[in-house]
Structure 1
Amino acid sequence: MSHINRFKTSSSSSSSESDIQTQVNGTRGAYVIELSFGTPPVSQIGIIDTGSDLIWTQCQPCKECYKQNVTIFDPSKSSTYKTHSCKSRACYALGISQYYCSTEEVCNYYYRYGDRSQTSGDLATETITFNSDNSRSKGTSLANISFGCGHYNSGLFNYSGSGVVGLGGGPLSLVSQLGSSIKGKFSYCLIPLSKEGNFSGKISFGINGQVTGEGVISTPLIKSYPSTFYHLTLNGVTVGKTKIPFNRNGRTTAGNIVIDSGTTVTFLPRDMYSGLSSALEEVIQGEKVEDKSGYFQLCYKSSNGGDDLNIPNVTANFDGGDLVLKPSNTFVEVSEGVVCLAFLPSTPPIIPIFGNVAQMDFWVGYDLEGGHVSFKPTDCTKA
Structure 2
Amino acid sequence: MEEKKAKAKAFLLFFFFSVFITLSTATKETQTLILHPLPSQPTLYWPELETDQPDPEPESASLSVSLHHIDALSSNKTPHELFTQRLQRDAARVKINQTGFGSQPGSSFSSSVISGLAQGSGEYFTRLGVGTPPRYLYMVLDTGSDVVWLQCAPCKKCYSESDPVFDPKGSRTFAPVPCGSPLCRQLDSPGCDARKKVCEYQVSYGDGSFTVGDFATETLTFRRRASVPRVALGCGHDNEGLFVGAAGLLGLGRGMLSFPTQADSGTSVTRLTRPAYEALRDAFQVGAARLKRAPEYSLFDTCFDFSGMTQVKVPTVVLHFRGADVSLPAGNYLIPVDDKGTYCFAFAGTMSGLSIIGNIQQQGFRVVFDLAGSRVGFAPRGCA
Interval of TM-score (by shorter of Structure 1 and Structure 2): 0.3 to 0.5
Q: Structure 1 length normalisation: TM-score?
A: 0.42
Normalized per residue, the structure richer in helix is: 2
